[in-house]
Amino acid sequence: MKAEEIALIQSKHNAAIVAPAGHGKTEMITDLVDKLPGKKLVLTHTNAGVDALQQRMNRKNISKEKYYLSTISSFCMKWCDAYPQTAGVDSAVKMTDNKYYPMVHAGAIRIFQNEWARKVIGTTYSCVIIDEYQDCVLAQHQIFVELNKTLPVYVLGDPLQAIFGFKEKLVSWKNLCFEVTPIKTYPWRWEKTNPALGQYLNDVRTQLLPGLDGQHIRLSTVPNSGAVHRIGISALHDGSIYKIANQYETVLYIAKWEPDTIAFSKGTGGLFQHDETQSLKILYEASQLLDTDDGYARANTIYDFIGECASGIATELKSYEGHIKDGDFDFSRIKKHPEFGKRMARLYKYHGHNDMMAVLDWIKNEPGFRIHRRELFTEMQRSIRRARDLNIPIAQAAQEIRMITGNQSKYAGFKRLASRTLLSKGLEFDCVIIDLSKVAQNASNRYSSTEMYVAMTRAMKAIYFITDQDSVLLNVPQGI
């Protein structure tokens, strides 16, 4: 940011900066942190967002004395833990409960409605900077309205990237009560990779913006040699995807619904890894089934679980399936994969943690099986290992490795990923393949204008649409 722009922001008690995708928003935040006086409270929505900002701060050698960086929810949790009676939180509500985060946000509002609380935070920080403000629900927005009574509040975001409105109503940028302040931006993300793509996305942005006013947008899928390509629906079955994947170092496939991303990653034999949700419901469900001192139940659950994670199970291990389902663990007549039979028989007989791990280890190392849900598979291994080492239920171990920040493992290194817009936000890939093959079937399969913008702007070099149509109709965004 230019010195005069930073001075303009500093002169205001609140400011809202609109920064399109790839236009240097993270750089703006680091500039504000570096140049504004005092210690800044910097907040964003996800741990991945915190990591991205922290890496940028480190690259610019910005002293940690200049800022405190956290997720919004963690910040609220910290204050609710410090003042539980003022917050009015129920300690019986756990982090895994759907009511937990709304409760914490409401508690933070109650705290910061008190002048004494705002004075406490005001003695530590000179201002508050919030990233990805378009993703704030109304309760989160109210927190910052309260803080703004004492501290300057500066928010950055892009209403065209507001894609979480299906959960709760999102803050409206038309009635933000923070002053929208124009700062010049530029599509830096594509400057070195493909300027033509950057220009295309700027043009498309203009076409999509009326969607924020409730208009249905029709988006052209006609190829543009410099940025956009189109492949027919038959590409999902004729091997064209493999040719595209081989042209780029990193490739992201995006579909509307999770069953489609699972089917795609499985169909590619693990070439594309399925992108898992943080909640990872199937991990908890399988973990609960494993929390039994019953060899038959544990063996059945492990067999079903590996079928969810790896391709080749239905064919390579078909001879074992009937035996396992019938409770018959005498595999002496089966000649194929005898080591698998030996480990499953031991699991049935002794049904310990190490016996479950032995089966999973064999699947992981056997070249005939291609794991397409590696994150899920690895998290189950970690859950069983943690349950064994700490002598706790596997379901509890699974919750602890997913929900407690210090126990979480990162799975950001997949070069080819099958995901949805909601999960891929913030990621960057050389090539993005957007599956539009089902949009004509019914309205629920259509992308909204905000979802489409987020999906397209994940691409650094090229976009591929999977469709036989010259254009597609986009839904009106939800919750904005």
Q: Compute the average pLDDT of residues 132-136.
A: 93
**Which pLDDT band, with edges at 50, 70 and 90, does 478 fall under?**
confident
Q: What own/partner pairs with CB < 8 Å and gap ≥ 24 does 149-152 have?
A: 149/118, 150/115, 150/118, 150/119, 150/121, 150/122, 151/41, 151/118, 151/121, 151/122, 151/125, 151/126, 151/127, 152/12, 152/13, 152/14, 152/126, 152/127, 152/128
Q: Which residues contact 332 (CB under 8 A, 6 or more apart)?
A: none
Q: What is the pLDDT of residues 79-88, one digit of tens each?
A: 999 999 999 9
Percent of the chain at pLDDT > 90 equals: 80
Query: What pLDDT is stored for residue 269 in this prediction?
Result: 92
Query: What pLDDT is stored for residue 278 in this prediction?
Result: 82
Q: Compute the average pLDDT of residues 148-153.
A: 97
Query: What pLDDT is stored for residue 65 in this prediction?
Result: 95
Query: What pLDDT is stored for residue 166 in this prediction?
Result: 67
Alpha-carbon distance of 102 to 10, in angstroms, equals 32
CA separation (Å) from 145 to 134, 148, 264? Answer: 15, 5, 44
Query: What pLDDT is stored for residue 440 in this prediction?
Result: 82
Percent of the chain at pLDDT > 70 equals: 99
Q: Compute the average pLDDT of residues 200-219.
A: 94
| pLDDT surpassing 80 at residue 145 | yes
**Which pLDDT band, with edges at 50, 70 and 90, does 232 fall under?**
very high
**Which pLDDT band, with edges at 50, 70 and 90, does 96 fall under?**
low
Comparing CA positions, the residue from 157, 153, 127, 148 lying closest to residue 49 is 157
Query: What pLDDT is stored for residue 480 in this prediction?
Result: 65
| pLDDT surpassing 90 at residue 230 | yes
- State the chain's mean pLDDT as an integer: 93
Burial group, residue 10, by CB count within 10 angstroms (0-12, 13-18, 19+): middle
Q: What is the pLDDT of residues 434-473, one digit of tens each?
A: 999 998 888 889 999 999 999 999 999 999 999 999 999 9
Confidence (pTM): 0.88
| pLDDT surpassing 90 at residue 413 | no
| pLDDT surpassing 90 at residue 93 | no
Query: What pLDDT is stored for residue 243 in this prediction?
Result: 93
Q: What is the pLDDT of residues 356-412, one digit of tens each?
A: 999 999 999 998 899 999 999 999 999 999 999 999 999 999 999 988 778 888 887
Query: What pLDDT is stored for residue 175 in this prediction?
Result: 84
| pLDDT surpassing 80 at residue 15 | yes
| pLDDT surpassing 80 at residue 277 | yes
Query: What pLDDT is stored for residue 27 in this prediction?
Result: 93
| pLDDT surpassing 80 at residue 48 | no
Q: Which residues contact 71 (CB under 8 A, 6 or more apart)?
A: 43, 44, 45, 46, 47, 49, 50
